[in-house]
Amino acid sequence: MVTATEIQPAVHAPRHVTAIVTGAARGMGRAMTLGLAAAGVRVAAADLPSSRAEMDELLDTARRQGVADNVFPVDCDVTRWEDCAKAVQAAIDRFGAVHGLVNNAGIRVLDADLTKGGRHGRFYEHDTETWRRVVETNIVGPFQMAKAVAPVLVAQGWGRIVNITTSHSTMVAQSFSPYGPTKAAMEAATVIWAKDLAGTGVTVNALLPGGAGNTRMIPQADVPDRSTLIQPEVMMAPIAWLMSAASDGVTGRRFIAKQWDPALDPAAAAAKAGAPAGW
The residue ranges of every structural domain in the chain are: 4-276
State in words which class domain 4-276 has: alpha beta
pLDDT of residue 6: 37
At 154-163, the pLDDT tens digits run 999 999 999 9
At 112, is the pLDDT very low, low, confident or very high (cuts 50, 70, 90)?
very low
Q: Indicate which residue of 95, 179, 193, 255 is catalytic.
A: 179
Complete edge-to-edge strand list for the sheet that includes strand 274-276: 71-75, 42-47, 18-22, 100-103, 159-164, 202-208, 253-256, 274-276
CB contact set of 128 (below 8 Å; sequence gap of 6+): none
| Global confidence as pTM | 0.90
pLDDT at 146: 98
The answer, yes or no, to whether residue 230 has pLDDT greater than 50, is yes
Does the annotation mark 124 as catalytic? no
Three-state SS string over 35-90 comes to HHHHCCCEEEEEECHHHHHHHHHHHHHHHHCCCHHHEEEEECCCCCHHHHHHHHHH
pLDDT in tens, 161-191: 999 998 898 899 888 889 999 999 999 999 9
In this predicted structure, which of 24-38, 162-176, 181-195, 257-271 has the lowest mean pLDDT? 162-176
Report d(CA 33, CA 60) in Å as an integer.
13
- Tens digit of pLDDT for each residue in 118-161? 455 788 988 899 899 999 999 999 999 999 999 999 999 999 99
